[in-house]
Structure 1
């Protein structure tokens, strides 16, 4: 295809996309048409690269038809894959015994029991419990100790006098696990290849953590582990139908922020475009999982992870297929639900679970009153981070389909990405001057300024002038001596002030650098790096989260469990920051 031919097609496509999107946008903030032309031109560019000149006219016609539709048709995405067969979670395997153990707090951490391994089949253990529990002198603690082996205590002693970089390189093998086979009736889901866990109580692999861990693994030259974990996630998509929160049966009813496409992009930067082709089927299956119900959900309503907006745009929310207390936090969830007697408990449980899917468990972002966990309403919120990630997933699928010369797929997903970009900039832009969440039930923006505001910059979906406005607001509102605060609210929850988290620092830094704000990016990065260095110098470890309101104040607090060390994503982001801003 000649450049003149490609330009001609791009011009025709962009005109059709732009006219449709401009009509949807609020007049005071509508961008000039050229800003939206990249989405249409992207499709044609990929067709040209893939050598699909003979099919370009068909692509042009199909793209125009796709752009004219208010919502994707039922056949626009491949069908969601059927879920694989998994053991039920411990709450179902052990029933009354599970409730008794968690309610009695046999272990200080509710996660310990659900990670324990039984000494026999659950039905037999439950039968023994029913027979013995009313006998004189019965001890539930002794019964559990007799029939279950708790997970081993973590913790290793590092060699003395390691530099920060040396310590992280030393940690990777300590945090690497293999679970090709697991003990009978374990809650652990086996994986075919080795993987890195976060550390501490987090003894399994976690979905969104892994991307930030991979950033550091690449710096350390551990491409083997990056490839292994990509293969593990593709395996989970093929066998379960999605990437669960973590590889535990009690996590299988939900996912986490969809960073798989970013992991593929990361590997492709090192290994070439073959990576897109290899993981394209998994990428499309993941997209189908998140979009279940898109073709049948009426406007103004939601199905699973899909929200149909009033104008026909389709966006996503966090959700969970179960509406019971989380196995790993059973007592905490029951207590929360009891604190709001006028609200159905299953509704509270669903919103708590959806909050866990968000990765921000928990934050004022999800609270009705912006202050208390009991008002949580995660499923009512269209999150700016999730939809930015979905935009990147769709554009990554475009790349993969272009490489495989699948013109229909390129056309479809280019149109999807363009529609989502328009919807993000309509619904997830707050007229106060920053990106944020939207309450789809109340049909109004959420006004809180949070670190999630920088996700559209990270994903490349922000308009340039809005990126600059968001950067100004973040500098004014969230920048602290130790880095970027998560929110402005101090609620006692871990994803609120005064805490800062490594993944959110990286999202901010990378996004700001993409949009011509390197000074603010460096300011955030060097401040957070100073905090990490201070804690390492005084305590000899890297931790899950940090207090950023005050330089060098130490590890963060709040939430449902004590501060954890290790720590996968902090290690990864720290190595990237050391590379950018020096030791």
Structure 2
């Protein structure tokens, strides 16, 4: 049934009755009657009841309002739509579009909008190695208020990057020629205040895009990965000036393989990306004394100087207080002087080497890595690099007849890369696998001992397919229950944080918080080893959590969840991105959107039916 409604009148009446807390949403926190009679001039009527259906009406009215028409036709089927179908449909048809960006004449104004930094000028930095892009963007300056285009120095040292902190800005990404018009290669941002391209977020987003039949956007992400490696030397934490010294978890080859298997690109496309992936592997990860350690395994090791620029004032107060006392300065004055390098302190500098390396890992932040990250051969990084080596071998074998010559004219067979993977697997088993505990720990190569913190990264080897059958069984039967909560797996076990100093702050990648990347790696890992029932259970738990919160909170798809409370209400560290919007979210959150689509693509029909009824997972499993 279709209702012809006066948009503003209906919207105002609905909000006045149901939005009792005034946040422009209808949620379970509102105290209205939760029933609303919908009537139109044609005599149609429908009594809408319950938070979910009322919030759907609000969302449809808000979307109709964008047409600038006085009246709109609202279809009752969209108001009473099953929540699972509705969430998936909105992700595919609305949210991905809302998160898509380009850095070009049409898109640059949106991308330099910045609620993180208040600048009178919006800086766009272009690499010295891309003169075509510099000329293109320079020509845009006059037509875009506040835009200032700056060419980066050829030598991007830590000292140079520090100078950019006086005028931070966005870094240019790839351009393409389209019918004689220069356009930006599209990419998809995480959402909310994250209005730029993030490294490992983009991989998970791309997997969701491929599932939703948007291969051109997944290819765009790969093209922008390649651009960053070619022009900035690495896939960046994100394309901001203060991230130039920091990379992200290596997932580029996994994306190349996913695109190759999904979209069957031209051989030349695969070859150019394989060239760049090998270059990244050799220059970013396998340089001795940097991210390669003497035992042959790898670590996260971000460069940079001093305080990480992106954090809010006060974030490091617990660390800086003792130094402020030591230097006999008020805390804020010491922080500013240290940030500006008027004061230097070797021990504090060392702390921030570990902190920036932790942020490079994607796990920002976790007590697992505080003041130690750069000393660790982490299980997550080494699992990802094992997968890199296997991926490169796979592509050479299946796409290039086992014969591939790189840009330095070195010819490789798949066996070369398989041998590297075999060596890494042997070292992981020697140093990172704890037989007695039945878990993978990071290894402190400085102290030559395991770093015993039970983290969800222990399941990465399942995803990378490097476990043997016995290790997989121990992880699934013994380790998994320690991480499992009603809505999925937490970033660590509760015991891991119970063992910490009582003054340690709560950190968002530890217990009780749950994140989409950990769930997605776990699901695929379980399926790799034929733990189908366990995979189905863990997928259901996560999708139930997303659906339950979307139903209760006006369609909200947040960055992460508190698994202890099965709630999106989180107050640790940075709060929860994706929860701040009026009337309707038009973005969701990047990797959360992807996890929903991936999970639904795997979930069995009978469990989808239970999900549609929002059956509590603890009653099913």
User: TM bucket by the smaller chain?
Assistant: 0.5 to 0.7
Structure 1 position 290 matched with structure 2 position 284: yes
> Which residue of the other structure, out of 73, 89, 95, is the alignment partner of 1:166?
89
Aligned to 1:547: 562
Shift in Å at residue 458 of structure 1?
Answer: 0.2
> Which residue of the other structure, out of 145, 154, 176, is the alignment partner of 2:100?
176
Structure 1 position 384 matched with structure 2 position 394: no
Shift in Å at residue 563 of structure 1?
Answer: 3.7
Matches within 5 A, 1:117-266: 161=79, 163-169=86-92, 170-180=94-104, 182=124, 183-185=147-149, 187-192=169-174, 193-266=185-258
Aligned to 1:99: none
> Which residue of the other structure, out of 492, 508, 516, is the alignment partner of 1:494?
508
- Counterpart CA distance in 1 for 2:216 and 2:173 is 15
1:501-528 superposed Cα distances (whole Å, 9 cap, x missing partner):
0110010111011012122222111111
RMSD over equivalenced CA pairs, Å: 2.2
- Counterpart CA distance in 1 for 2:234 and 2:307 is 21
Aligned to 2:73: none
Aligned to 2:140: none
Structure 1 position 325 matched with structure 2 position 330: no
Instruction: Give yes or no for contact 1:242–1:255 (8 Å, CA) kept in 2.
Output: yes
Shift in Å at residue 416 of structure 1?
Answer: 1.2
Aligned to 1:573: 595
Q: State the TM-score, normalizing by the size of structure 1.
A: 0.66
Structure 1 residues 339 and 463, CA gap change in structure 2 (3 angstroms):
farther
Instruction: Give yes or no for contact 2:441–2:452 (8 Å, CA) kept in 1.
Output: yes
Instruction: Give yes or no for contact 1:450–1:488 (8 Å, CA) kept in 2.
Output: yes
1:445-491 superposed Cα distances (whole Å, 9 cap, x missing partner):
12222110110110011111001101123332101011111112455
Structure 1 position 414 matched with structure 2 position 418: yes
> Which residue of the other structure, out of 453, 466, 477, is the alignment partner of 1:472?
477
- Counterpart CA distance in 2 for 1:325 and 1:333 is 11
Shift in Å at residue 157 of structure 1?
Answer: 5.5
Aligned to 2:34: none
Shift in Å at residue 362 of structure 1?
Answer: 0.8
Residue correspondences, number: 407
Instruction: Give yes or no for contact 2:368–2:453 (8 Å, CA) kept in 1.
Output: yes
- Counterpart CA distance in 2 for 1:228 and 1:334 is 36
Structure 1 residues 340 and 319, CA gap change in structure 2 (3 angstroms):
farther
- Counterpart CA distance in 1 for 2:378 and 2:466 is 14
Instruction: Give yes or no for contact 2:379–2:441 (8 Å, CA) kept in 1.
Output: yes
- Counterpart CA distance in 2 for 1:339 and 1:459 is 42
Instruction: Give yes or no for contact 1:304–1:319 (8 Å, CA) kept in 2.
Output: yes
- Counterpart CA distance in 2 for 1:320 and 1:333 is 19
1:501-560 superposed Cα distances (whole Å, 9 cap, x missing partner):
01100101110110121222221111111110011111111000011124x433444123
Matches within 5 A, 1:99-114: none
Matches within 5 A, 1:314-463: 314-329=296-311, 331-332=313-314, 335-339=317-321, 341=323, 344-367=347-370, 376-402=371-397, 403-404=399-400, 405-406=403-404, 408-431=412-435, 432-463=437-468
Deviates more, 1:512-521 or 1:178-187: 178-187
Shift in Å at residue 420 of structure 1?
Answer: 0.7
Equivalent position SS for 1:385: helix
Equivalent position SS for 1:285: helix
User: More helix by proportion, 1 or 2?
Assistant: 1
Shift in Å at residue 236 of structure 1?
Answer: 1.0
- Counterpart CA distance in 1 for 2:355 and 2:262 is 38
Instruction: Give yes or no for contact 2:208–2:594 (8 Å, CA) kept in 1.
Output: yes
Instruction: Give yes or no for contact 2:570–2:576 (8 Å, CA) kept in 1.
Output: no
Note the residue ranges of structure 1 that are not aligned, 5 or more in a row: 1-155, 295-302, 368-375
Note the residue ranges of structure 2 that are not aligned, 5 or more in a row: 1-60, 65-77, 109-123, 125-146, 150-167, 175-184, 327-345, 405-410, 498-504, 580-587, 613-621
- Counterpart CA distance in 1 for 2:481 and 2:465 is 22
Structure 1 position 534 matched with structure 2 position 548: yes
Instruction: Give yes or no for contact 1:486–1:504 (8 Å, CA) kept in 2.
Output: yes
